[in-house]
């Protein structure tokens, strides 16, 4: 990141959530690439020109059949960048299906046969992760955080007994 202002914005967002910071940075970059602008140039636009650019972006994304929730997430990233510089988007921007999450609509629990195939395809370490999530209800973040600096340890399972080659 060459722009020190962009670095400061990213660091500020990351203090709240490193995942959000990474997503916002990607979305801001994609927005700027698509609209043929730069983060810095967004700051120099008039309020009307900025609003028009955002509306045109939403229209183009809807034309591409992007999910409303994805478009809204992109706008949140841009608005975060603008707010970092004291600029608010005050005029309304309507996004069709902003609350819709089509990727989750057909989500379901794997069948026993699908789970068996997952276990057979995975390496031993990954099998343990899959088993803990499938049978103990753990979420991925319990097994390790986004940065890989924390996670479940054997000492976190006090009832676990390892004797010889057996685990109870």
Which of 61, 129, 144 lies closest to 95 in space, CA to CA? 61
Task: List pLDDT tens digits, range 54-77.
Answer: 999 999 999 999 989 899 999 999
pLDDT at res. 21:
96
Residues 68, 71, 75: CA angle, nearest 5 degrees: 135
Q: Hey, what are 54's tokens?
A: 């955002």
* Residue 168 banded pLDDT, cuts 50, 70, 90: low
User: Between these two residues, 11 and 126, which has the higher pLDDT value?
Assistant: 11
Long-range Cβ contacts of 88-91 (<8 Å, 24+ apart): 89/50, 89/51, 89/54, 90/47, 91/47, 91/51
Which of 112, 109, 23, 37 lies closest to 69 in space, CA to CA? 23
Question: Which of left, alpha, beta for 148 (phi over 0: left; psi -120 to 50: alpha)?
Answer: left
pLDDT at res. 137:
83
In angstroms, the Cα distances linking 48 to 37, 53, 78 are: 16, 9, 15
The segment with the largest mean pLDDT, out of 60-69, 90-99, 134-143, is: 60-69
Which of 67, 88, 68 lies closest to 78 in space, CA to CA? 88
Which of 70, 91, 65 lies closest to 23 in space, CA to CA? 70
């Amino acid at each position: 990141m060459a722009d020190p202002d962009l670095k400061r914005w990213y660091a500020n967002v990351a203090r709240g959530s490193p995942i959000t910071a990474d997503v916002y940075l990607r979305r801001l970059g994609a927005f700027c690439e698509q609209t043929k602008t730069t983060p810095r140039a967004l700051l120099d636009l008039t309020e009307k020109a900025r609003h028009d650019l955002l509306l045109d972006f939403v229209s183009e994304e809807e034309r591409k059949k992007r999910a409303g929730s994805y478009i809204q997430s992109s706008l949140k990233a841009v608005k975060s960048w603008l707010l970092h510089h004291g600029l608010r988007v005050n005029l309304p921007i309507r996004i069709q299906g902003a609350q819709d999450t089509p990727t989750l609509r057909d989500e379901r629990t794997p069948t026993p046969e699908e789970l068996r195939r997952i276990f057979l395809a995975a390496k031993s370490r990954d099998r343990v992760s899959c088993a803990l999530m499938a049978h103990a209800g753990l979420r991925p973040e319990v097994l390790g955080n986004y940065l890989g600096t924390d996670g479940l340890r054997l000492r976190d399972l006090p009832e676990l007994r390892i004797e010889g080659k057996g685990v109870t």
